[in-house]
Amino acid sequence: MSFSFLAREAGHVHVCGHRGYSLCYPENTLPALEAARTAGATTVEIDVVLTADGEPIVLHDLTVDRTTDGHGFAADLDLEQIRRLDAGVRFDPAFAGTKIPTVAETLDWAKAADMGIVLEIKEAERPELAADRVAALLRATGTLDRVIVIGFDHAVLKRAVERHPGLKTEAITHARHADLIGVLQACGAASVSIELDMFHPDDARALHEAGLGNRLSMPRPDKLAEYWQGGRDPLPKIVQWIADGLVDSISGDDVPFIARLVKQAGHAS
């Protein structure tokens, strides 16, 4: 059975672990992805850049400095050098020895675990090549149906769809567009990622009527705490949106928290 990112086709709203269960595990690593699955995620969001020798790897930043014990731009390091880096010890010594995974390894994991992958192209210097390499891996691993490629650069997404028939894409937005459907149609995207403060029920209904999907991006727990400290609670309306079938996927760092919201709304897997 083909994987679907649309809730009405999947039979449930997707819980998406942002960079895996990144609140409690080193982001964009296989332990974080597996922990997200265990905590109730049905999809995970990962970020992709290229090594010097053109290998797609799972890394958010253009440099390895923040998340590993290494230094420099990933684009200046070959895969062998990337393999020697520790991607867990900076997060917590308990995760020492954790490696940066390749996209190929991550796709193999997703297929075995029956998980969906929301794959963001972060590569800045060779984005077109990154999209081509990813598309080739999807076909080689038989995972084209369970991956949606996302990005802020809608022109890159448009060209990727044109070059690779069957590739599903999602446009990231940080604004409420006057013609959201037109934005997606212009770049050939099947879905849109929307921040909580820009999500509107009318837009969600219009997207679904046009056969398009959405992914609601939740703030980190410390940002949500600011609402509660100020006497405001956005959760009831979010649960209602989910219950009303307006949300296809809800994404964030705190996977168990998101899973509880979806369960509360009666749309869990």
Task: Output helix, strand, coil percentages for the chain, rounded to the nearest 5.
Answer: 40, 20, 40
- The set of residues, in sequence order, having a beta carbon less than 8 Å from that of 215 and lying 6+ positions away, is 5, 14, 16, 118, 170, 191, 192, 193, 194, 248, 249, 250, 251
Buried b (16+ CB within 10 A) or exposed e, 257-266: bbbbbbbebe
Q: Are the CB atoms for 214 and 171 separated by under 8 Å?
A: no
Q: How does DSSP classify residue 73?
A: B
Question: Crossing angle of helices 127-141/154-163, nearest 10°?
Answer: 40
Residue type, 102: T
Q: How does DSSP classify residue 109?
A: H
Tell me the DSSP string of 171-230.
EEESS--TTHHHHHHHHT-SEEEEEGGG--HHHHHHHHHTT-EEEEEPPPHHHHHHHHHT
Residue type, 98: T
Strands 43-50 and 14-18: parallel
Q: Are the CB atoms for 47 and 62 separated by under 8 Å?
A: no
Q: Are the CB atoms for 100 and 57 separated by under 8 Å?
A: yes
What are the residue numbers of the active site? Answer: 18, 60
